[in-house]
Structure 1
Amino acid sequence: MESSEGTGGLSGEIEVEAYRRLFPLPFYERHLLESVRPDARPLNRARDTTIALGPVASADGSALVKIGDTTMLAAIKLEVMTPSTDAPDEGSLAIEFQMPPICSPSVRPGRPAEVASVISKQLSDVMMSSEMINLKELSLISGKAAWMAYLDIYCLSADGCLFDAALLSAIAAFSHLQIPLVSVNDDGRVIAVFGELPEAKLKLELVNKEKRKLSLGSKPFSLTCILHEEYILADPNAEEESIMDTFVTVVLDSLGQLVSIYKPGGAALANMSTIKACIALTKSRVKELNNILSESLSEMEVD
């Protein structure tokens, strides 16, 4: 038989949870008065973040990223293509962000999530404007052959800040990417040589003599913040995003230079002091993410 103290504790928890569901905004505002969130995070702290490199063996580069419970799987496949006449010595990059129904109850089978196409466009814009990838490094033979890099990002669990997690997974996947060997066959066609080069093909002319990585430029990282009255909440989860509707996403490169600022909507206007505060939070986050990525790359080299 339960004690009255135990019953009272359970009853209190039920009452708190009921209040949270019925009056979510007042519930959060009571926490904000103490500069803390219901998950015990300070307002300016992002969730725990992990990066695992190379989870997809069949891809040329891949990464699994978790920011809190938000989980992204990014994979890159390279294919030989004929470059365009406008850029004969450059390769190309195609990015697609996908949200299968398993990632969130709000994503219905057979109906693509509207936010997926928006995030795909944002990722493409940031990747190109940051100049992290030099498309000339994807060239094989000027005017004849170049690499097309297909980057697919799958949201496995959607718990807020999808763009931030997707961008981080893209950067990690390109950091892990290895360019395969390429040879020219008897007909003059350029073909990729995957795996070990068979003895029968040792006489084929290799365009690149060894596998290599891209020499990535300054990497872009982002931080999304929620603005609510005078409060700024860094890295909101899905519950916080559903309650408060004014967001600012700041993208900085690894040198601290501003790449872009997104403010998709919301009633509140972001004044200059608020934007500066968000940029300051993003600078701290960029250092943190850089360190996490560097540690993951070091661990991969050791293995």
Structure 2
Amino acid sequence: MNLISPSEKDFITKGIESDLRNDGRTRIAYRDFIIETGIVSQASGSCRLRLSKTDVLIGVKVEIGDIVSNTTSDNNNEQEQDIVNSQSENDKGRIVCSVECSPSASRDFEGRGANDINNELSQIMNRVLNGPQGGIDLKSLCIIPGAQCWVIYVDVLVLDYDGNLLDTIFLATRAALQNTRIPKVEIQDIGNGQLEFEISDDIEDAEKIKGWEDVPVTVTLNKIGQKYIIDATAMEELCTDTKIIIAVNKSGEICAMQKSLYGSLNPSLLTEMIRTAKDIGKVLIKNIDTTLEHEQVMASRANNKKFGFFI
């Protein structure tokens, strides 16, 4: 793990208490980020998002898979089993998320530590996106109940790191899912209660994922000293006593919450942090959705040439 000296920690902590961080931001100010979508040609949808030096690339692949239940699955993969256990109906598709942090991005991602980080981030994504408030209409992914469905694979590659990794991943995931298209399927009854389906090859018939607009983003609030900040840098994360991760959708509703580290929180401060996360989350979603619409318009006018946008 990266280390920080007591004098550096004291300098950062006192600056935050004075509402002035190392890079000149206030406690609840976000850094600018650049977003690009549709950059992986072999994926059903993709996005690259750079938040300062934190650089994340996401590819989404849509494939046909079997509907599994907790009574029929013999999958030994812990992440897959978490998804199966959360879905008792036989008429739902599923989302399978996988995060890989490149060892060249940070010394924290080398050796055994990388596996722990990758598993933790993957589990958070799987539980949020497959949960009741994950946004995606999982029933719309069903092709033949009890038999086959669409499986959405979300593969995350962390290229570089400078703090606030989870928030960056969820922002990029929302954009990648907005960019994803699912082929049109025609179902036919061949008699005796049997169904078969045919997938259209026409790209223009492909549709957006239902419910992508309700996919939440996460807002991570780091408590340093007696104050808290959002969008912490790598150095600020080393000074963090405790942090709260709150998933928020476009309506400002809380979809998930998780506390990390061992510090304590005053109930009144926790209430304030939750309120801040809801406000910041709604603004982030509004800004990113507006930017994605603008990108699509610009790309259509320039024969699908891709543009990167600052937010």
Query: How many Å separate the matches in 2 of 1:66 and 1:273?
Result: 34
Query: Match of 2:283, as an amino acid?
Result: E
Q: CA deviation at 1:110?
A: 7.9
How many Å apart are 1:37 and its aligned residue?
0.6
Distance 1:176 1:231, change over 3 A: same
Does structure 1 conserve the Cα–Cα contact (< 8 Å) formed by 2:244 and 2:258? yes
| Deviation string, structure 1 residues 186-236 (Cα, Å, up to 9, x no partner) | 9x865645566xxxxxxxxxxxx9211122152212111111232111111
Answer yes or no: is the 8 Å Cα contact 2:67–2:148 preserved in 1: yes
> 2:219: which partner in 1?
223
Contact 2:13 2:224 in 1 (8 A): no
C-alpha offsets along residues 79-124 of structure 1, whole Å, 9 cap, x if unaligned?
1123236644221211111101122133226873421111111111
Distance 1:287 1:62 in 2: 23
The amino acid that maps onto 2:280 is: R
TM-score by length of 2: 0.78
Q: Any conservation in 2 of the 1:220–1:251 contact (CA below 8 Å)?
A: yes
Q: After alignment, is 131-140 or 29-38 more displaced?
A: 29-38
**Deviation (angstroms), 1:184:** 7.7
CA–CA distance in 1 between the matches of 2:151 and 2:130? 15
Counterpart of 2:270 (choices 270, 275, 278) is 275
Paired residues of 1:83 and 1:146 also in contact (CA < 8 A):
yes
Q: Is contact 2:30–2:231 with CA below 8 Å preserved after alignment? A: yes
Does 1:24 pair with 2:8? yes
Deviations along 1:146-205, one digit per CA (max 9) or x if unpaired, are 11111101111121111111111211111111002446899x865645566xxxxxxxxx
Larger Rg: 1
Identity of aligned pairs, percent? 23
1:161 has 2:156 as partner: no
Residue 48 of structure 1 pairs with residue 29 of structure 2:
no
Q: d(CA) in 2 for partners of 1:174 and 1:49?
A: 18
Aligned pair in 2 of structure 1 residues 256, 33: CA closer, same or farther (>3 Å)? closer
Aligned with 2:135 (options 128, 132, 136): 132
Moved more, 82-91 or 57-66: 82-91
Could you tell which deviates more after superposition, 234-243 or 135-144?
A: 135-144
Partner Cα distance (1:118, 1:110) in 2: 13
Q: Contact conserved, 1:98 with 1:154, CA < 8 A, in 2?
A: yes
1:145 aligns with 2:136: no
Change (3 A) 1:164 1:142: same
Contact 1:80 1:190 in 2 (8 A): no
Residues of 2 paired with 1:96 and 1:170: CA distance? 12
Corresponding residue for residue 119 of structure 1? 121
Matched, 1:37 2:32: no
Match for residue 206 of structure 2? 211
Q: In the alignment, is the contact (CA less than 8 A) between 2:108 and 2:114 conserved in 1? A: no
**Unpaired segments ≥5 residues, structure 2:** 70-87, 300-311
Q: Which amino acid aligns with 2:178?
A: S
Partner of 2:258: 262
- Tell me how far apart the structure 2 counterparts of residues 66 and 292 of structure 1 sit (CA, whole Å): 15
- Please state whether the residue corresponding to 1:47 is helix, strand or coil: coil
Counterpart amino acid of residue 37 in structure 1 = R
**RMSD across aligned positions (CA):** 2.6
Q: Does 1:238 align with 2:241?
A: no
Counterpart position of 1:103:
105
Say whether 1:72 aligns with 2:56. yes
Alignment: residue pair count:
270
Contact 1:50 1:292 in 2 (8 A): no
What 5-or-longer segments of structure 1 have no aligned partner?
Answer: 1-19, 197-208
Residue number among 59, 64, 79 corresponding to 2:43 in the alignment:
59
Q: Distance in 1 between matches of 2:240 and 2:112?
A: 28
Output the CA distance in 1 between the equivalents of 2:249 and 2:112.
Answer: 36
User: Closer, same or farther in 2 for the Cα pair 1:89/1:51, shift >3 Å?
Assistant: same
Are 2:253 and 2:278, in contact at CA under 8 Å, matched by a contact in 1? no
**Separation in structure 2 between the aligned mates of residue 57 and residue 284 of structure 1, nearest angstrom:** 35
Detail structure 1 runs of 4+ shifted over 6 Å in the superposition.
Answer: 183-186
Alignment match of 1:295 (pick from 290, 295, 309)? 290
